[in-house]
Amino acid sequence: MAKKIVLLPGDGIGPEIMESAVRVMDQISKSFNVTFSYETADIGGVAVDNHHTPLPQTTIEACKNADSILLGAVGGPKWDNIEVSKRPEQGLLGIRKALNLFANLRPIRVYKPLVHASPLKSDRVEGADILIVRELTGGLYFGTPRERRDNGNTVVDTLQYTREEIKRIMHIGFQSAMGRSKKLTSVDKANVLESSRMWREIAEEVSKEYKEVELEHLLVDAAAMKLITEPKSFDTIVTENLFGDILSDEASIIPGTIGVLASASLNDKSLGLFEPIHGSAPDIAGKGIANPISMILSVAMMLQHSLSMPKAAEVIEKSVERALDEGYHTGDLDMDGKVLNTVEMTDKIIEFMREE
């Protein structure tokens, strides 16, 4: 039976790189003799324009009935000054909450050809391989109250976590570390924040169930520095929502561009949403030059984590690596070789997929 994939292209470069994703899926379909059926739905700014809300109920329903979901990106200057509940970003936060996608996996791998694309010294980045496990449905992005008070002269955001929310993401952190090199760095700000002190306590508690995993704690400010100075000292990182958001964008310096970083957002069932870690890149939207690799590797993560097709995921990863290895890249990467646009880069990757 056909696997039902909901496509949420969103805004800015979202639709441009989603086209690449669908072409790659079509190739997988041919090579592996599987059928995908696609349903496209609105989210973010495009949904505000078409439905007056960044997350229409029809989009939530389509996602709930899907085998898996791909998302491009949301947001852009057009919607920066509308009322908060209608901001495109609320659509993304809303779908994460509606589907309980609490575990966000953000791998940072330096493909060999990217070693010299990084602004960091190559001996620091060669072989770096990090997985950031980011809590995705709690913390500052969701806590209430969040409001202006005192005639607009005071502002409140709320950082709230329950014990259960921390425990479940900690288990994902430890389980991920078990499948890798058994080292887990829990990142917090326990010298200042009560929420971080509870985070650290729970990390210690849960670690008793994973005796083989070496657990270390790192304060987020020091972690931000060490990620750049010693990226290879990390294996798996587990952290709360805001810290994970910031640290993963920072980590894009390691492979040299945010345009190659993909992610999986998973719940406790088997449903997942797969998306690049970057945003809608309004500065390059409409020019056809976005790097499609972040989206194409999100397809690979979907095949791996959601559709039980690890071989197909491998074909995509190998083809991406080969394209980069042969010098083909988009303009966001500072490396030797041939600069291609989004469509040409996708063509190259698909050409190599056919040869796998």
Ligand X SMILES: NC(=O)C1=CN([C@@H]2O[C@H](COP(=O)(O)OP(=O)(O)OC[C@H]3O[C@@H](n4cnc5c(N)ncnc54)[C@H](O)[C@@H]3O)[C@@H](O)[C@H]2O)C=CC1
Ligand Y SMILES: CC(C)CC(=O)C(=O)O
Catalytic amino acids?
141, 189, 221, 245, 249
Measured distance CA(309)–CA(292) in Å, rounded: 21
Note whether 71 binds ligand Y by CB under 6 A. Answer: no
Smallest gap from Cβ 92 to ligand Y, in A, equals 5
By beta-carbon proximity to Mg ion, the closer residue of 42 and 245 is 245
Measured distance CA(197)–CA(134) in Å, rounded: 17
Among 104, 195, 241, 291, the residue binding ligand X under the rule CB under 6 A is 291
String of contacts with ligand X for each residue 234-273, x by CB under 6 A: ------------------------xx--------------
Smallest gap from Cβ 218 to ligand Y, in A, equals 21
By beta-carbon proximity to ligand Y, the closer residue of 88 and 113 is 88
Q: Find all residues with CB under 8 Å of 289, minimum gap 6, and list them.
A: 330, 331, 341, 342
Note whether 251 binds ligand Y by CB under 6 A. Answer: no
Note whether 245 binds ligand Y by CB under 6 A. Answer: yes
By beta-carbon proximity to ligand X, the closer residue of 143 and 282 is 282
**Strand pairing category for 68-73 and 3-10:** parallel
Judge residue 338's burial from the number of C-beta atoms within 10 Å of its C-beta, 0-12 exposed, 13-18 middle, 19 or more buried. exposed
Instruction: List, as own/partner pairs, every contact residues 28-34 make where C-beta atoms lie below 8 angstroms and the sequence separation is at least 24, other chains included.
Output: 28/299, 28/303, 28/309, 28/312, 28/315, 28/316, 28/353, 31/312, 31/315, 31/353, 31/354, 31/356, 32/309, 32/311, 32/312, 34/3, 34/309
Tokens of 343: 């469509």
Among 28, 101, 277, 316, the residue binding ligand Y under the rule CB under 6 A is 277
Smallest gap from Cβ 329 to ligand Y, in A, equals 23
By beta-carbon proximity to Mg ion, the closer residue of 59 and 252 is 252
Site residues (vs ligand X, CB under 6 A): 13, 73-76, 89, 92, 258-259, 275, 278-284, 290-291, 294, 332
For the annotated binding site for substrate, the residues are 96, 106, 134, 221
